[in-house]
Amino acid sequence: MAKKKKSDAPAQPPPAHVASDRPDQGTIRQVKLNSKQKMVWNDIFFDPIKSSVKWDDIMNLFKALGGDISNGRGSRVRILLNGNVGLFHRPHPEPTTDKGALKSVRTFLLQSGVKHETGI
């Protein structure tokens, strides 16, 4: 049995693609995600929907994608991403996001022009 060479290692996953409304960057820009953000990205787009994704990890992903985050009244959080506004309710007292909220996050990302690519 032959040993695997370093060149036989799998290629790096492609970056997330974010549609941009900024003319200086064209219509699409690529965003490099770190390993934890990639894991959260895959959890958001996993079917069946997971119920163990931490809210802070989702907020970190929004920031990495260029989202502007502001706190609303109470537990509400506003996200501005590519000209779209998302309003979410921060989970409490548990740090994990429920399935319905995760589905809303997925929908918001897609409506904001973020493309999910397999293997990110």
Question: Would you list the domain boundaries of the chain?
Answer: 14-115
Give the 3-state secondary structure of residue 86: strand
- Give which of 100, 105, 98 is closest to 44, Cα–Cα: 105
* pLDDT over 90 (residue 7): no
Helix (H) or strand (E) holding 41: helix 35-44
Q: Are 84 and 111 in contact (CB under 8 A)?
A: yes
Question: How far are the Cα atoms of 3, 76, 105 from residue 18, in angstroms, in the given order?
Answer: 39, 24, 15
Q: What pTM was estimated for this model as a whole?
A: 0.74
For residue range 21-75, what is the model confidence (pLDDT) as tens digits?
444 444 566 788 899 999 999 999 999 999 899 999 999 999 999 999 999 899 9
For residue range 8-18, what is the model confidence (pLDDT) as tens digits?
544 444 445 55
